[in-house]
Amino acid sequence: MASPPLLLLTDIRVSLGSVPLLDGAGIGVGAGERICLVGRNGSGKSTLLKIASGEIAFDGGTRFLQPGTTMRYLPQEPDLSAFANTMEYVEDGLGPNDDHYRAKYLLEQLGLTGLEKPKNLSGGEARRAALARTLAPNPDLLLLDEPTNHLDLPAIEWLESELKSLSAGIVLISHDRRLLEKLSRSIVWLDRGQTRRLDRGFAHFEAWRDEVLEQEERDFHKLGRQIAREEDWLRYGVTARRKRNVKRVAGLAALRQAKREYNKQGEAAKMGAADAATSGKLVVVADKINKSYADRLIVKDLTLRVLRGDRLGIVGPNGAGKSTLLKLFLGLEQPDSGELKLGTNLNVITLDQQRAALDPAVTLASTLTGGKSDMVQVGEQSRHVIGYMKDFLFKPEQARTPVGTLSGGERGRLLLAAALAKPSNLLILDEPTNDLDLETLDLLQEMLGEYPGTILLVSHDRDFLDRVATSTLVAEGDGKWVEYAGGYSDMLAQRGHVLTEPVKQKTTARTAALAPTNAPSPPAAGKMTFKQQHELKTLTAEIEKLHTTVKKNEAILAEPGLYNKDIKKFKAASNALTEAQERLATAEERWLELEVLREAG
């Protein structure tokens, strides 16, 4: 490992009845390590994190926590019910020597005052309060279970920046690919009750996972063992899906280019297209529409055309009016002024993030078939429910499982299966990625890639927006909405900056003391200076040198029994590795900033 273990789980075993959930799983976390814990929904990731935090017991194995180590755990569903307000909840997590000002500072940064009553909090506000409670003590170890759930994009980007600035060891469970790519330095993959580790960032995970599964499949065949057909699909089908999704990138790029060209057309061309509304080419036509609630301006002078086949991503802070905008586009509300026309013969299907359409007492099969037969009507095709279930990663034996016993990710999959079985030409997706594992996200992307109609997508998942959206509608503040061609990254490139943070960062004596005095300033707009050009050249050599240092110290730490044989050598190599990794991360970020500036110039 990269440093002496502050937390070490070995050979952890947990059974649910006679079925093993964890069967020899383990994880080790050293100071400053950033580990993402990945695996399919229901594989036991949250259980393993709860064992690591000491929240729950386990059937077998060992758990070691270095004496004196401070640790904080962020659960998926924080409970604030025992506290009068959010400040009391956050301060309850502080130790005797912790800085109480940091609790107030973090609440402010997350857009809370500390006076909010727990019973009045939304899911996003409760998550922000829980994050403040977790981060306030500045612990040695952070265990974070889906920290971005229910957060809007500004809060996610603030959290990403905050976590990058910490020296704590971090174990992170998240479906947010972009967050994992930016934060992780190691991966622990939990699969069929056991763990595998790769000491590289998340960007390398999918290729590594595919190699492991393909080698395992070859080994099975060498031994002459027969793999069940449904297991083969469930476990190895993800590779094929990912490769097919890669092939769709060119098609998505073509759609985005078409959108750019359409947006460049003049008013005369737009009026001509509006005349063709009866053909179904136009889905939504908004011309200078306005919408307010009391003194609050939601939409101001919005002009927008949504064409058949468009995939429109809608992003902005919580409270910006995304839900109101959807209601306007669906004709559920009318604008105060301006003109809004909807396309003819719209057949709408909505996937809501609360999943209220699912009855917890009804079985999975009955939810899909309506309880009338064993067949599912998918468009004009009739399919057996078991075969259709497999398309959405369900096993045959789950057919009679009540919906109420499914995990959050499985319920999301089921809602997706039920919705896509119905005929529609307009699909409304409200935070569809919540609780979904990475493989289900690949599946959802594939399904959306094949969907022939129009999609309106509200999401805070930056990577998913990049993979799906042909254009992105962004809340710019004061009721102003601007459409950008392309996904989230394209939008950022056109805007030139990220979305507004929940609350502007405040410079304090504490944060100033923590900030490096020689931190590089962000590149200015325009052409690169000679100094920046020279810095970019020297950074390349420095990064290569740091990579060599990292590999050298990793090789030292990999010596069997080094910790017991030569503790001084172990600590020296660990400290050197941690320092090199931190310098490498800083250098790579600076190199990326300068490279973007070079390309822009």
Give the pLDDT confidence of 354-384 residue by residue, as tens digits.
Answer: 555 678 889 999 988 888 788 888 867 788 9
**Between 187 and 589, whose confidence is greater?**
187
Instruction: Find, among 37, 74, 26, the residue nearest to 175 by Cα.
Output: 37
Mean pLDDT score, 104-119: 91
Spatial CA neighbour of 128 closest among 409, 323, 317, 316: 317
Closest CA to 155 of 578, 574, 460, 362: 460
Instruction: Give yes or no for residue 507 having a pLDDT over 50.
Output: no
**Highest mean pLDDT: which of 69-83, 257-271, 343-357, 437-451?**
69-83
Length of the chain counted residue by residue: 601
What pLDDT score does 251 carry? Answer: 61
Q: Do domains 250-347+424-506 and 515-600 have the same CATH topology?
A: no
Rounded Cα distance, 322 and 324, in Å: 5
Helix (H, G, I), strand (E, B), or coil: what is residue 475? Answer: strand
| pLDDT value of position 514 | 31
Calpha distance 535→463 (Å, rounded): 30
Most confident segment among 126-140, 226-240, 388-402, 405-419: 126-140
Whether residue 27 is predicted with pLDDT greater than 50 in this model: the reply is yes
Q: What pLDDT score was predicted for residue 228?
A: 46
Burial 37-74, CB ≥16 within 10 A → b, else e: bbbbbebbbbbbbbbbbeeeebeebebebbeeeebbbb
Task: Give pTM, 2 decimals.
Answer: 0.68
List pLDDT tens digits, range 258-316.
Answer: 666 555 544 333 322 223 233 268 889 999 999 998 778 899 999 999 988 899 999 98
What pLDDT is attached to residue 230?
Answer: 42
Considering 70-84, 352-366, 573-587, the range whose residues carry the highest mean pLDDT is 70-84
Q: Report domain extents, the chain.
A: 5-217, 250-347+424-506, 355-421, 515-600
Topology (CATH) of 250-347+424-506: Rossmann fold (3.40.50)
Mean pLDDT, the chain, as a whole number? 80
Contact 47, 55 (CB under 8 A): no
Average pLDDT over every residue of 573-600: 73
The pLDDT value given to residue 265: 46
pLDDT band at 85 (very low <50, low <70, confident <90, very high): very high
State the pLDDT confidence band at 67, using cuts at 50, 70 and 90: very high
Note the pLDDT tens digit of each residue in 553-581: 777 876 766 656 777 786 777 777 777 87
* pLDDT tens per residue across span 160-197: 999 998 999 999 999 889 999 999 999 999 998 999 99
Enter the DSSP assignment of 204.
G
Which of 137, 178, 139 has the alpha carbon at shortest distance from 160?
Answer: 178
**Fold of the domain built from segment(s) 5-217:** Rossmann fold (3.40.50)
With a cut of 80, say whether residue 503 has pLDDT above it: no
CATH classification of 515-600 is 3.40.50.2000, yes or no? no
Average the pLDDT over 113-121 and give the result. 90
